Amino acid sequence: MKKIKTIALVAPSGDIRNLDEINKKISILEEKFLIKKYYDENIKNGYLSDSDENRAKYFQKAFLDDEVDLVLALRGGYGTIRIVDKIDYELIKNSGKIYCGSSDSTILLAALNNKTNIKCFHSLMVSNGFVENLEKNIKIIENDIFNINLKSLKKGIAKGILWGGNLSSLVSLFSDDFYLPQEDIILFVEDLNEPMYKIDKMLYEIYRNKDLKSKIKGIIFGDFYFDESEILSLLCEYSDKFEVPSWLTFDITHKENNVTIPYGKFIKLN
């Protein structure tokens, strides 16, 4: 993959909080990369970074900028579901850019993976650790690396593309199948600030989605902000329900130790 020289920053989700801190992190990025801002830091639309139309417009423009190599989300939060249908995927399909994000950007990762040739990474963002782990993240992105610590819950061999992300964001896509995967997948899921009964409910929604369930050949359960002893029985129950190999990792999380992984990359796990 090409070397990253120019990064476009976008804010497709929640309002830009702690602006002074964000700008300090951007200054660190500017020491090594040309940085372009595709958002208006002076605008706030309630709990969102801007209007739906402007968020979609800025996001699209970042991919149409010939100088840009990598498009990086400032933060997650909420509201991406409101712009996912406003993006012209055919227009940006062959832009040759890379997109990095997580949390609510799970929705964009799924959409870009299904509708474009854009390479995506489930990664830290400016607000929660991308800059603090800059060298490691850039190395993973430039070399398309998948390397996380996995603990086996249900043994077996699984082959498919890495697909998933924030559990509550994934479930919000179920109103139609426009953004769901077309290939066999290794599903990975994580979430935060969700009680156990909601995690159970959302995992069951995936289980009930027959088209998606048929494509799941393995599951990686990430961090749900519970101790392993608290949540293990629920995850093992779903390992048995799906009847596919499964693994547990705390490397896929909202925390700063979140490991960047290539979204849509075909892998084999055993």
- Verify that 175 and 87 share a domain, yes or no: no
User: What are the phi and psi torsion angles at 86 (to 5°)?
Assistant: -95, -5
118 and 184 fall within a common domain: no
pLDDT of residue 177: 82
| Amino acid in position 60 | Q
Residue 210 lies in a domain: yes
Whole-structure pTM value = 0.95
177 located within any domain:
yes
**Residue 108, in any domain of the structure:** yes
What pLDDT score does 34 carry? 98
CB within 8 Å of 256: residues ≥ 6 apart = 124, 128, 129, 132, 133
Res 1: pLDDT: 67
Quick one: CA dihedral 102, 7, 81, 261, positive or negative? Answer: negative
Structural domain total, the chain? 2
Task: Based on the fold, state whether residues 39 and 96 are members of the same structural domain.
Answer: yes
Is there a single domain that holds both residue 11 and residue 133? yes
71 shares a domain with 170: no
| Six-digit token string for 237 | 């129950």
What is the predicted pLDDT for the residue at 85? 95
Could you read off the pLDDT of 209-264 as tens digits, one per residue?
999 999 999 999 999 999 999 999 999 999 999 999 999 999 999 988 899 999 99
On whether residue 1 sits in a domain, the answer given is no
Q: Which of 143, 162, 180 is the last residue in one of the domains?
A: 143
Q: How many CA atoms lie within 13 A of 217 on its CB side?
A: 18
Residues of the chain falling short of pLDDT 50:
none
DSSP state letter for 151: E
- Does a structural domain hold residue 163? yes
- Here the CATH number for the domain that contains residue 113 is 3.40.50.10740
Q: Is 168 part of any domain?
A: yes
What's the pLDDT at 175?
Answer: 86
Length of the chain counted residue by residue: 270
Task: State which of 143, 170, 189 marks the end of a domain.
Answer: 143
